[in-house]
Amino acid sequence: MRNEAKTTVGSASALLDASPSRSFHARPSLWLAMIAVSTVVCAAAITIGTHKFHLGPAAIVLMPILWTVLIGGFLGVQRWKPIGGRARAVSTHLMDVSIVFFLAGLGTQIGPSLTKFAGIGPAILLQEVGHVVGTVILALPVAVALGLGRTAIGATWSIDRESYLAFAIQRFGVRSPEYRGVFAVWVLGSVFGAVFISLLAGLLGGLDFFDPRALALGLGLGSASMMLGGVGALSILYPEMSGEIMALAALSNLVTNIVGFYAGVFIALPLCQKLYKMWSRLFGRDDLGRRVRRDALASPEISAREGSPVSARQGREENDSQKGSGVDAVDVNGIEEDPTVVRTPKTWLIAFAATGVAAVLLNALGTGSSRSLDVVGVLILLALTAVALVLAKLVPMVPSSIWVLALATVTSAAFLPIGSFIASATQNINVLFAGLPMIALIGMSLGRDAKALRSLSWKIIIVTLMTFTASFVAAATIAELAFHF
């Protein structure tokens, strides 16, 4: 019989357990192992510190987020002590709390600064245009020219976060090329998005061409981890503006989360589909990405090929049959199906306690100072997290990310009697450090996605980077213009 005492961080043997059952009750040792390992990873990353290198006028910033991804990712794919499905299921439960907690911290930095944003309201709204159409205008022709076929539509109509992935499953079906494009960008963004955006933000910030506020607004990509990476790089380049950069990026991300999905579905996707036909004719590509004569693209036979509305409908039908047979749709694309932790009041209490303790410890390690009031601030953020998760359960149409950003922003605003107290209690909490466990847990779950990543063509990697770059740069450019005109 296995000695549970050996399943702590020292042995980490709890990470080996990966029973194929659909749901299970996680042992205390498994919780302890995942919480301890992720916290140690973050502490190591903070200890390594930040390093900045100049490439001409630009700068590359290597910061704790990058080290967290690298260390966590190494642990996720190594085979000596592999992290099993049960451990990843526990990490998913922990992430559900840590992500919302991180966003609560961002919200409390927005509230006290609301008055500063009155003069730049148009920039916040106009930059959303860059997120919506920047990928379609800049990345789509590259994807078509590389021969991705209709996969290009899914890969370039947005940066493809979780809400877009769910929409693609319902709209196109898991067998469709459109869905494969969405899935590929989602996987790459989940694993490497934060690192790439942090490097890109550091390069652009070091050029002194963009106003730092415009770059901060451009970071509202709809992804908390990507925004966190970019904010970290800009905060190092512009330490005197770190608070404003964080607040602007978080507010921009809130706008993107509220209207970005609907703009993507009703504006970007139809535009992408129309422009796809134009680019396909110009580059002489069919829906499979093969080179054909331009006059052949008008052939009725094209409608019967993969990626047509017919095949999309078939994909939906196949997906429905898979659901009926108990086959998880994501398995078709090479991602392991992890079991699910049975969530009880006790597991939620463990997740909240782990998030709070890690936040206090990592914030003290990263900032070099601690106050008793910081503990109060962390408790406030945990309370906001809990309220947001409950509201999201009661009103499923509104995700917890939107609830918690709105609640944290309003409750910390100066116009409320409690606003000044919440702002003072949370002002010393650096969410860049408090949010690191979320990044570590994502990296440690990389083993689940390794097979899918290996199956991706180098072309989709190029298109993914183009998609992220186009969305960020287009939004930042529009925000820059709005600041000057």
Q: Checking DSSP bridges between strand 58-62 and strand 51-55, what pairing results, if any? A: antiparallel
Share of the chain above pLDDT 70, in %: 80
Per the listing, tokens 């590389």 go with 146
Q: Which of 97-106, 166-175, 412-421 has the lowest mean pLDDT?
A: 166-175
Higher-confidence position of 251 and 48: 48
Three-point CA angle 150, 290, 311, nearest 5° = 40
* pLDDT number for residue 319: 43
- E strand or H helix at 194, and its extent? helix 177-206
Summarize pLDDT for 469-483 with one digit per residue, the tens. Answer: 999 999 899 888 887
Mean pLDDT of 446-472: 81
Does some domain include residue 7?
no
Mean pLDDT of 249-274: 82
Does some domain include residue 271?
yes
pLDDT mean across residues, the chain: 80
Higher-confidence position of 124 and 301: 124
Share of the chain above pLDDT 90, in %: 28
Does some domain include residue 126?
yes
Most confident of 101-110, 237-246, 318-327: 237-246
Report how far residue 288's alpha carbon sits from residue 250's, in angstroms, rounded to the nearest whole number.
39
Summarize pLDDT for 127-148 with one digit per residue, the tens. Answer: 778 877 788 998 999 999 998 8
Summarize pLDDT for 27-77 with one digit per residue, the tens. Answer: 888 999 999 999 999 999 999 988 877 665 556 677 788 788 889 889 988
Does some domain include residue 194?
yes
Report how far residue 462's alpha carbon sits from residue 464's, in angstroms, rounded to the nearest whole number.
5
Per the listing, tokens 């003290």 go with 364
Residues 394 and 464 sit within 8 Å (Cβ to Cβ): no
* pLDDT number for residue 482: 81
Task: Indicate whether 315 pLDDT > 60.
Answer: no
- Domain residues for the domain of 49 are 20-324+349-366+430-484
Could you give the number of structural domains in the chain?
Answer: 1
Q: How would residue 8 be classed by pLDDT, with cut points 50, 70 and 90?
A: very low
> Residue 87: which residues within 8 A CB-CB, separation 6 or more?
14, 15, 17, 18, 30, 33, 34, 444
Does some domain include residue 195?
yes
Report how far residue 421's alpha carbon sits from residue 416's, in angstroms, rounded to the nearest whole number.
10
